[in-house]
Structure 1
């Protein structure tokens, strides 16, 4: 157990009792003696990767968090660049237009 061996095909003759033939399956070479040597130790489990900060950053959740942090810090700076007069004018226009409510939208579509 714990070792990997080359596969061997063993044929036992039904016509001639006691006649046994062994051959390597990769190269079909007949074996006179059945002596197997291990190729390597078998690794049944994968080794766990060590913790990496880049694995968190590359994950979809890490990318979303990074984008949100970027927006939180950059949005106020972008809003500071807007002229206060322009901002007040835009807010007044929105007030004059009125915010459409759900009931107004539904009543206008049904008529």
Structure 2
């Protein structure tokens, strides 16, 4: 009789010092059906000297019983393929007031984050993120259109086209217009210091098999070497 009374009193005292917390996974855009969570999903409540673990139940919630009152807990959710935000949960000394905030590891414990609203039944909603790996950018395959749109490829292509077309344009140009063009070009080169060869004339001459500006330049170099002698 005495032993039974003692056990009953002990159970009553223990229940008055402990609370039951219920965490719910609400449907979201990333997780419209919480039943898609794996059966191995579970949560942990951690505080100094205490740790609690609760598996997911059939109705997609987590129930942690006999949680010590007057403590502050770090709640972490583990579900393969899904990410959940860690929570901070404070239980009052009488167990009647339970408050929750979004937090993260490394955060100062006194720095509380966004408060988590509770349901009318006192359930705490877990904050579900995007599926694991969805924030990675998928590597693109080879795309020839993007390769051709590269600025360096465009510059090289325009330069190649100009290198091929300029000699043809110069060959087909009217002689008078060609002479006037070369005259204006020489004036322009003289204004900038001169000395630069006529690229269009050089290319057109090399194509026609005639003399180019390379031969006179080479002859000038040989003549200078002959006058200077060996040093």
Return the TM-score normalized by structure 1.
0.53
Q: Would you say 1:50 and 2:141 are equivalent positions?
A: yes
Task: Write out per-residue CA displacement over residues 49-71 of structure 1, whole angstroms, 9 at most, x where no aligned residue.
Answer: 11111112112111111211221
- Unmatched runs of 5 consecutive residues or more in structure 1: 103-111
- After the TM superposition, which residues 81-100 of structure 1 pair with which residues of structure 2 at under 5 Å, given as runs? 81-84=172-175, 86-88=177-179, 99=190
CA distance in 2, matches of 1:75, 1:23: 72
1:61 corresponding residue in structure 2: 152
Runs (5+) with no aligned partner, structure 2:
1-79, 103-113, 194-231
Is the helix fraction higher in 1 or 2?
1
Task: Show the counterpart of 1:109.
Answer: none
User: Partners of 1:39 and 1:86 in 2: how far apart?
Assistant: 69
Counterpart in the other structure of 1:107: none
For 1:93 and 1:35, how far apart are their aligned partners in 2?
A: 78
Deviation at residue 29 of structure 1 after TM alignment: 3.5
- Of Structure 1 and Structure 2, the greater strand share is in 2
If asked which structure has higher relative contact order (CA below 8 Å, sep 6+), I would say 1
Tell which structure's C-alpha radius of gyration is larger: 2
* C-alpha RMSD of matched pairs (Å): 4.4
1:15 is displaced (CA, Å) by: 4.1
